[in-house]
Chains A and B, each alone.
Chain A
Amino acid sequence: MPLPKRDLPDFDAPPVIETLLGVQFSSTKQFPTRLYTEYWKRIMSRFPSLELQGPLPAVTEEFGRPQALAFGIQLVQGDESRYWYIDESGTRLLQIQKDRFIHNWRRIKDEPYPHYDEDIRPRFEKEWVEFCSFLREKGYDKPVVNQCEVTYVNHIEPGEDSTHVGDLSKVISCWSDTYSGHFLKQPETITFNIRYVMPENRGRLHIIGQPVIRKRDAKQVFQLNLTARGKPKSSELHDILEWLDLGREWIVRGFTDFTTPEMHRLWKRKEGL
């Protein structure tokens, strides 16, 4: 399905180190272990490694009413695990559990960011279509998608003149490093969790910032996660993709608004976009 043309801000060297495109769904039948292993056989040429992880909890963006509380007894019959199908390069991952399907790309060395339009979206589409087709073959109903999610994980490395992770005013456009008085000095650490409602309650954009140490190179960085999540109009592929496009637009525009022009120059923002 072609991507509608949108003039979004674009960067030649963005700080993104990982992207996730995913859906949360319900299914009328449980997923037994053999379903996951049979699916692995089907995709093994692309995803030769398999790992098991604990399940992700369900997350739903609610509007106009308090977060629903779940009562009652849940009879667990299917396999609750989250299956990780990993490609040979270690940069692509499919995560599947009873109610989740997520496609990840991550940077492990200096790989260029594979752009959304050219790579990330088409790959998600291909894998989701194949998974739905597999479920159909196995006698499962089409998954009812209740949430779509797009996440971009950015790692902002301290510059030579800014070795302290607390120095965020150079990175975050709405952050000021000045105080009303002189009592407080530079903070030891900063974490934040900000959320924005998308028009017509179509979802939310969450921006989470926190200092972290990256395991692969033990480097201290500031991690800026942007997650857009919401409910698509239906479970049809075009509506899922429409929501993912909207979520990605919110992330790109949100990221650009949230960060400073000084950093945009460093990340090589393209002229006119």
Chain B
Amino acid sequence: MNGPSNTATMSFGYVEPPAEASHAGVQGQWSEVVDWPWGVHQIPSVQRLLSLKNLERDWDSYGSQPPSEAAIAMGLTLLKGLVDVGLENLTTPRINPVSGGGVLLEWEAGSRELELELLSGGVVRYLKIEHGEPIQEDTVTHPMFSQMQDLLLWLTP
């Protein structure tokens, strides 16, 4: 599989989605909610992702901010997109904050592991691991969702 291209022009979710998209139900609703077309088993991942926003400043004792809205929005887009491509049954990712305002999502499937580090400004760093050994890593700016999808599909050959 080819890795994501660094020349992608279309971003996926690094831009905060239009307000209305995250205010389900009613026109003009202000309170922010996430509705879910995804399965119930994904709810804990969504909750984990959202809860990272409430971390205290300096949560890592190195002065870091909590994960940015953009990184969390990108994570939500990614989780939501899994349903569209039939990957909703992928193992639940480990989700953790990253110093500097990012979010790390890690999947494990058999001998393969995938780490996606979602950073502010639409930058994604990924690392593929097989049999415990790193085999590919790259940094992509404003990746297309299909590129992320390809990475995830690598987990389920």
Contacts and interface: CB of A to CB of B under 8 A. Distances in A.
Nearest to B21: A54
Please tell me the size bucket of the interface on B: 20 to 34
Contacts of B19: 53-54
Counting chain A CB atoms within 10 Å of each CB, which of B27, B34, B36, B40 scores highest? B27
B146 interface: no
Given A213-B43, A218-B51, A223 B33 contact: yes
B29 A218 contact: no
A54 B27 CA distance: 11
A210 interface: yes
Interface string A201-217: 00000001011111111
A98 B121 CA distance: 32
B25 to A, nearest CB: 5
A95 interface: yes
A188 B40 contact: yes
A192 to B, nearest CB: 11
B31 A151 contact: no
A54 B29 CA distance: 13
Contact of A153 (B18, B31, B39): B31
B26 A225 contact: yes
A93 interface: yes
Interface in A52-97: 53-54, 56-57, 59, 93, 95
A214 B26 contact: no
B88 to A, nearest CB: 12
Contacts of A22: 28
B28 A212 contact: no
Interface in A88-144: 93, 95, 100, 102, 104, 106-107
Contacts of A56: 20, 27-28
B25 A208 contact: yes
Contacts of B20: 53-54, 56
B25 A102 contact: no
A217 B31 contact: no
A217 B54 contact: yes
Contacts of B129: none
Interface residues of A, number: 36
B29 A20 contact: yes
Counting chain A CB atoms within 10 Å of each CB, which of B18, B20, B31, B34 scores highest? B31
B34 A212 contact: yes
Contact of A106 (B30, B47, B53): B30
A205 to B, nearest CB: 13
A210 B35 contact: yes
Contact of A210 (B24, B27, B40): B24
Interface in A215-243: 215-221, 223, 225, 227
A59 B27 contact: yes
Given A212-B35, A213-B33, A220-B43, A95 B28 contact: yes
A100 B27 CA distance: 11
A107 B31 CA distance: 8
A59 B54 CA distance: 36
B96 to A, nearest CB: 15
Nearest to A102: B28
Nearest to B34: A213
A31 to B, nearest CB: 17
20 contacts: A20-B29, A20-B30, A54-B20, A106-B30, A106-B31, A151-B28, A151-B29, A188-B39, A188-B40, A210-B24, A213-B36, A213-B46, A216-B31, A216-B32, A216-B54, A217-B51, A218-B46, A221-B33, A223-B33, A227-B26
Given A18-B31, A213-B47, A225-B25, 10 more contacts: A53-B19, A107-B31, A208-B25, A211-B36, A212-B35, A213-B33, A216-B31, A218-B48, A220-B43, A225-B29
